[in-house]
């Protein structure tokens, strides 16, 4: 194999690789667009999720928010845990 044949083969391989890369990029872009469309169909208008967003830069504020969420979750569970107990009692028959 001569140097010229080797260069020609390498150029051909680079062209094939470039075409594959472009095809992959196009397919990834199409999948991303489809995913965005499904997301919009599922959650409808996205602008409604942009209103009550605040950036938290303080570590104490993050900690407070996490503890607050934890307390709210715990009180929710305590408030409605009796429903599963009652359901089991009354569904037995």
Residue 13 near residue 19 (C-beta atoms within 8 A): no
Distant-in-sequence, close-in-space partners of 56: CB < 8 Å, separation ≥ 6? 62, 65
The per-residue pLDDT for range 19-40, each reduced to its tens digit, is 999 999 989 999 999 998 888 8
In this prediction, residue 70 carries a pLDDT of: 93
Going from the C-alpha of 78 to that of each of 25, 43, 48, the distances in angstroms are 50, 30, 31
Question: What is the pLDDT at residue 49?
Answer: 65
Q: Name the pTM for this structure.
A: 0.39
C-alpha to C-alpha distance for 55 and 78, rounded to whole angstroms = 31
The CA distance from 69 to 58, in Å, is 17
User: What does the pLDDT read at residue 46?
Assistant: 66
Q: What is the pLDDT of residues 41-78, one digit of tens each?
A: 877 766 666 666 667 778 888 888 889 999 999 989 88
């Amino acid at each position: 194999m001569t140097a010229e044949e080797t260069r020609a083969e390498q150029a051909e391989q680079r062209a094939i690789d470039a075409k594959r890369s472009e095809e992959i990029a196009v397919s990834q872009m199409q999948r991303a667009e489809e995913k965005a469309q499904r997301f919009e169909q599922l959650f409808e208008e996205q602008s409604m999720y942009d209103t009550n967003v605040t950036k938290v830069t303080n570590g104490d504020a993050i900690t407070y928010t996490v503890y607050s969420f934890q307390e709210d979750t715990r009180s929710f569970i305590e408030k409605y845990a009796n429903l599963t107990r009652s359901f089991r009692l009354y569904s037995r028959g």
